[in-house]
Structure 1
Amino acid sequence: MATTVVTAPVAVAKAFSPGHITGFFEIPKVQGQDALHRGSRGAGFSIDRGISTTVHVFEGRTGAKILINGKAARHKDAEVSQWVVDYYLKGRQMFVKVEHEIGIPVGFGLGSSGAAALSLSYALNKALGARLSLEEAAQVAHEAELACKTGLGTVIAEFAGGFEMRTRAGAPGVGATERMSADGHKAVILCISPISTKAFLANRMDMINGLGGEMLGRLEKTRSVDDFLKMSSQFAETLGLTEGRCRAPVRALREAGFECSVALFGETVFTIVPKGRAGQAAGVLGRFEGTLLVCDIDGRGARITA
């Protein structure tokens, strides 16, 4: 009888990246060709749900296997992760098993592609002994998002964590963020239906630019949660995102006294409320179909966890 030899991994590492919601943004028209200098400016917040990624490294063979919540990933679902793996394995004779544990709905504007790329880059950097700084590892994830056209400013926001403004476009270390206070607040989110970021961005760039930049200038002066929500709402309404399946939940929240908006990009209604009112807001959104999340604002950003 043949004996199956199971080799043990030579290294294991695990990292976490929070999910993120963008309320409004712009893409500067004048940007360098270098991917590290490209991206978006805007404002949003990270949440305490996200993606944990474990990497197992094996010797003796080459390649990679990517699992999402325990199941082998289809290529279209792991494009960004494959890009990051290919970057790290270039010139290395290694095999890596990637296990993404996804704690947020995918495709609903919660920054899942950025969180997957960022947590994977952190884990691979540690497991392979690549010796990149965390900032440099985050730059790899930013490049992956741009190459796969799945995001522009999500990685730098998830790298920083918290309730933030992205004041200069680019990757971590090149772009710039400023943290604002959301102490004592929770995010209440209803994920209704996904939207393709690629398709949406292709058709509405002229509409997005200008408005997002003007809003960022105003938010830099007030730095308030309420103003962020009001501007996000105006931004979403301008793009037509508050119509369709989002219309009724948005109206219900406003009638209950909660300002709210729609995540970029997904049919996902969100609000940020004082913790004492989170149950009331959740009760309003809980009347509608979808996945309801009540989250804390993640103030730590992406990190190595094991």
Structure 2
Amino acid sequence: MFVPAHITGFFSIHIDREVLKTGSKGAGITLNRGVKIEVKEGRGRIYYNNKKVDICPVKKLLPENFDLFLTSPFPLASGLGMSGASALGVAKLFYNNFLEKAHTSEVLCGTGLGDVIAQYVKGFVIRLKPGLPFKVLKINVDKYVVVDVLGKMETREIIKDNIKKERINRVGERCLNELLKKPTIENFMKLSYRFALETGLMDDEIKEMCKTVKNSSQSMLGKTFFCVVDRDEIKEVCSILNDPIICKVIN
């Protein structure tokens, strides 16, 4: 089974007494690269690129008599929705109400608020309300995405920080309103960059990279540079990046 990676450009955090209604609003894109998932009879062990790991939302979903093998070109905690993708894949394999199971496990673990919804819908996804049942605007996009992972960032630490959360929500709501006035991928990229900058979440190295590459920003929440390009722009962009991974928006 395959589940796509998800890049969040901007978001706002919404906490509710009901776990299913807790989530985020915002916008992002899913990629044609993500996580390949395989299960075998075992003892509840989880392997990510052949390394034994402990992924909280996955651990909540995986039956104890199975081992899970996850394969991806992307590392965990890089702002590409890997925990959400892994949780969604496992939930699909074992549960009828898989979307609810995956979203609940992500929220309870503090590893994500909206990734699994976008990964379920696919494409350029604008999340109009938090949690489930979801309400989104889906736009099909024929674009390439070049990703450069520079490091890790723990989602849990940021979404539970009240000062950061207030700033994220203020800027995120404003970006969502602006995107809905003009729901294009170019405007999404412009607003994603603004969000990363105004929330103080943008990494200095990525900020410098964005100065030289148009339609670029930082994936939330992670130390990952990404840009949206046409096919004829890929070679030039890759020549100035550290370790580029070429993807395409999957619709």
Match of 2:120 in 1: 159
Q: CA 1:32/1:205 → structure 2, altered by over 3 Å: closer, same or farther?
A: closer
Give the letter aligned to residue 297 of structure 1: V
Give the CA deviation at 1:237: 0.4
> Is the Cα–Cα contact under 8 Å of residues 171 and 198 in structure 2 kept in the other structure?
no
Is 1:282 the equivalent of 2:225?
no
Give the CA deviation at 1:176: 1.4
Match of 2:17 in 1: 33
Give the CA deviation at 1:277: 1.3
Match of 1:3 in 2: none
Match of 2:83 in 1: 113
d(CA) in 1 for partners of 2:92 and 2:203?
Answer: 38
List aligned pairs for 1:9-20, cutoff 5 A: 15-20=1-6
List aligned pairs for 1:1-306, cutoff 5 A: 15-28=1-14, 32-57=16-41, 63-73=43-53, 77-85=54-62, 89=63, 95-125=65-95, 132=96, 136-171=97-132, 174-183=133-142, 185-203=143-161, 204-253=164-213, 258-285=214-241, 288=242, 291-299=243-251
> Is the Cα–Cα contact under 8 Å of residues 48 and 69 in structure 2 kept in the other structure?
yes
> Is the Cα–Cα contact under 8 Å of residues 13 and 159 in structure 2 kept in the other structure?
no
- Secondary structure at 2:26 match in 1: strand
- Secondary structure at 1:209 match in 2: helix
Give the CA deviation at 1:189: 1.2
Name the TM-score, length of structure 1 as normaliser: 0.77
1:156-203 CA distances to partner (integer Å, 9 max, x unpaired)?
0111111110111113xx0212112322x1011111111111112233
Give the letter aligned to residue 296 of structure 1: K
d(CA) in 2 for partners of 1:242 and 1:78?
Answer: 25
Q: Which structure 1 residue ranges, 4+ long, deviate > 3 Å from structure 2? A: none
Cα root mean square deviation, aligned = 1.7
Give the letter aligned to residue 92 of structure 2: Y
> Is the Cα–Cα contact under 8 Å of residues 30 and 250 in structure 2 kept in the other structure?
yes
> Is the Cα–Cα contact under 8 Å of residues 171 and 199 in structure 2 kept in the other structure?
no
What 5-or-longer segments of structure 1 have no aligned partner? 1-14, 126-131, 300-306
- Secondary structure at 1:23 match in 2: strand
Give the CA deviation at 1:122: 1.2
d(CA) in 2 for partners of 1:243 and 1:52?
Answer: 29
1:228-278 CA distances to partner (integer Å, 9 max, x unpaired)?
01101110001223342223212221xxxx121111111211111122212
> Is the Cα–Cα contact under 8 Å of residues 242 and 250 in structure 1 kept in the other structure?
no
Answer with 1 or 2: which has the greater Rg: 1
d(CA) in 2 for partners of 1:211 and 1:240?
Answer: 11
- Secondary structure at 2:105 match in 1: helix
Give the CA deviation at 1:57: 4.1
Give the CA deviation at 1:48: 1.0
- Secondary structure at 2:100 match in 1: helix
Give the letter aligned to residue 171 of structure 2: L
Give the letter aligned to residue 136 of structure 2: T
Give the letter aligned to residue 65 of structure 1: R
The percentage of counterpart residues that share the same residue type is 28
> Is the Cα–Cα contact under 8 Å of residues 53 and 123 in structure 1 kept in the other structure?
no
What 5-or-longer segments of structure 2 have no aligned partner? none
> Is the Cα–Cα contact under 8 Å of residues 45 and 67 in structure 2 kept in the other structure?
yes
Provide the aligned length of Structure 1 versus Structure 2.
249
- Secondary structure at 2:181 match in 1: helix
